[in-house]
Structure 1
Amino acid sequence: MFAAAFTVPGGKNQDSGIPIFLQGKIFNVFIIADAISLFTSATSVILFIGILTGSFAENDFLKSVPLKLLFALVMLFFSVVSMMVAFCASLAMLLKGHQGVIVTAMSFASIPVIILVPLQLRLFIEIFKSTVLSK
């Protein structure tokens, strides 16, 4: 996914080396979504590894660890969403004029987000209630 920042959709101009779709709005959406996806996925991995490898005291499991888990889950969600946005933007650039293919591909691309939200929402709400809303 992140190799897409170097091998941009549509390729590069042979003379200047500048991406062909550089002036398009969809290209800007692609680049921003790709950067957000890289940042959020790296952040979530670092947070999950920190939770797994950290040595915590008993009291840390009341606030510190659940808050880290909450933040890691949010970063994971934003990572998946921004990855899907980057994928859809690259398809929209490459398949311009083929609306049926674009809509079908975007529908399939949204399946991971649709699956992730219900699976993680209950855990997210439970952690939020027990840490942020508790006294």
Structure 2
Amino acid sequence: MQAVEKFVPLLYKKAKNADGLKPRELFTKNHEKLLNEARQWVKETANSFTIVGTLIMTIMFAAAFTVPGGNDQNKGIPIFLGQNAFSVFIIADVLSLVTSSSAVLIFIGILTSCYPEEEFRKTLPKTLLTGIYTIFISLACMICAVCAALSLMLKGYNSIMVTSIAVLTLPILVFSYTTSRRFKVLTLHYNISRKIFQFYKTGEF
């Protein structure tokens, strides 16, 4: 709609049809059902990922205070402090906590939006993609933290450790599979919209 408006004379933009509607008003009326469906889809998607992000954030916050091996009773510091695997655990835990918190804030921002139709062109798809990518990073960091914790606790039991770590990769695969369609739809929508407006602006793709 915005791309077409650039080539329409101002007089036509303000003209009214037999029902007394301007072009913008007519466009909004004809696409009202589609807009409502899009709003509902965005709200459900954001709500689902908000729950996921909150769960990850809660788990990683608790993990920061219940470190593998516990703390030294005399000094009060983690027993495995100084080991490489423990450093990986702490870094992954912090990254997961930060990214999940960021994702929750992103999706809360989407949920509290009034969903104007202009935002569906670029802002909402871009924000949703950012939130989903952030959730994926958070999940990956959480798995890394768990793997690091297992390597500390199962040191010397390589077969059990390798099997456990291999199984822990399944959540990432499942998440990637279940969200791949949304990734494709959002990415395609965003890229097509960007290309169209680039064409109308510069005359070339």
Give me the TM-score of the superposition, normalised by structure 2: 0.62
Please state how far the C-alpha of 1:118 moved relative to its aligned partner: 2.0
> Quick one: higher RCO (CA 8 Å, sep 6+), 1 or 2?
1
TM-fit CA distance, 1:51: 1.2
How far did residue 53 of structure 1 move? 2.0
Matched, 1:37 2:96: yes
The alpha-carbon deviation at position 110 of structure 1 amounts to 1.0
Residue equivalent to 1:28 = 87
Residue 79 of structure 1: aligned partner: 138
Structure 1 runs (4+) deviating above 3 angstroms are: none
Kindly provide the CA deviation profile for residues 111-135 of structure 1, in whole angstroms up to 9, marking residues without a partner as x: 1101111222332233223214532
Letter of the structure 1 residue corresponding to residue 97 of structure 2: L
RMSD in angstroms over aligned alpha carbons? 1.3
TM-score w.r.t. length of structure 1: 0.92
Question: Which has the higher Rg, Structure 1 or Structure 2?
Answer: 2
Counting aligned pairs with the same residue, the percent is: 42
Alignment of 1:122 onto 2:185: no
Number of residue pairs matched by the alignment:
135
Q: Does 1:97 align with 2:163?
A: no
Q: Deviations over 1:56-102 (max 9, x none)?
A: 21110111111110000001101111110000100100110111111
Secondary structure, in 3 states, of the residue corresponding to 2:82? Answer: coil
Q: Helix, strand or coil for the counterpart of 2:130?
A: helix
